[in-house]
């Protein structure tokens, strides 16, 4: 999809173009917010804030890389900002507080329905959820995650492994319940 004309019209303040852009991106970007935030109310708040940032920053989009990727980055950063404001990201859980099995059960994740997976991601401790989203879904490196969150790379890697284990544990429980 070519966003060039739509972006130009949005910058000119044309409300129809702004609505069209919102309609094109809203479902995908709400999913980003839901993955980061603990509940739908927080996600909706960040969603609205993020769209305001997108519309205010359109003139700064330099058309390098995908437009949706640029928007997604704004949404992810807004979620991280909100998590920082809530002071839940840093030191929210000790790495030793929860001891999950770390195994390679990727097949369980593949069988999971998207809604169930989203629900389990939302139920993760904030630190796990944030690192999992940034690494597995948004594609940040562990170094970038460490820089954004003010933790070490090894903490990021450990949180990611524990997040995966958390999900696997939850999915195994769901699998047993369905039988």
The CATH number of the domain holding residue 16 is 1.10.1740.10
Q: Which of 85, 114, 135 represents a domain boundary (last residue)?
A: 85
Q: How confident is the model over 81-106, as pLDDT tens digits? A: 888 887 644 444 444 444 343 444 44
Q: Could you give the CA distance from residue 4 to residue 124 in angstroms, rounded to a whole number? A: 38
Token digits for 80?
């991280």
The answer to whether position 96 is within a domain reads no
Cβ atoms of 83 and 89 within 8 Å: the answer is yes
Provide φ and ψ at 58, rounded to 5°.
Answer: -55, -35
Backbone angles phi, psi at 111, to 5 degrees: -85, -10
pLDDT, tens only, 21-80: 999 999 999 999 998 888 889 899 999 999 999 999 999 998 888 899 999 999 999 998
Q: Which domain covers residue 30, as residue numbers? A: 4-85
**In a shared domain, residues 8 and 81:** yes
Number of domains, the chain: 2
Ramachandran region of residue 91, left (φ > 0), alpha (ψ -120 to 50) or beta? left
Instruction: Tell if the pTM clears 0.85, that is, is over it.
Output: no
158 and 124 fall within a common domain: yes
């Amino acid at each position: 999809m070519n966003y060039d004309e739509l972006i130009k019209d949005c910058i000119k303040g044309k409300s129809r173009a702004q609505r069209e852009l919102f309609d094109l991106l809203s479902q995908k970007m709400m999913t980003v917010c839901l993955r980061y935030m603990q509940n739908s109310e927080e996600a909706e708040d960040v969603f609205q804030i993020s769209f305001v940032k997108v519309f205010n920053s359109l003139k700064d989009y330099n058309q390098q890389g995908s437009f949706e990727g640029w928007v997604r980055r704004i949404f992810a950063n807004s979620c991280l900002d909100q998590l920082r404001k809530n002071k839940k990201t840093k030191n929210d859980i000790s790495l030793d507080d929860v001891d999950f099995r770390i195994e390679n059960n990727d097949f369980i994740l593949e069988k999971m329905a998207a809604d169930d997976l989203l629900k389990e991601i939302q139920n993760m401790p904030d630190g796990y959820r944030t690192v999992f989203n940034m690494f597995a879904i948004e594609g940040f490196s562990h170094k970038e995650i460490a820089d954004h969150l003010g933790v070490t790379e090894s903490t990021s890697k450990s949180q990611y492994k524990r997040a995966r284990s958390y999900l696997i544990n939850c999915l195994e429980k769901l699998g047993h319940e369905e039988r």
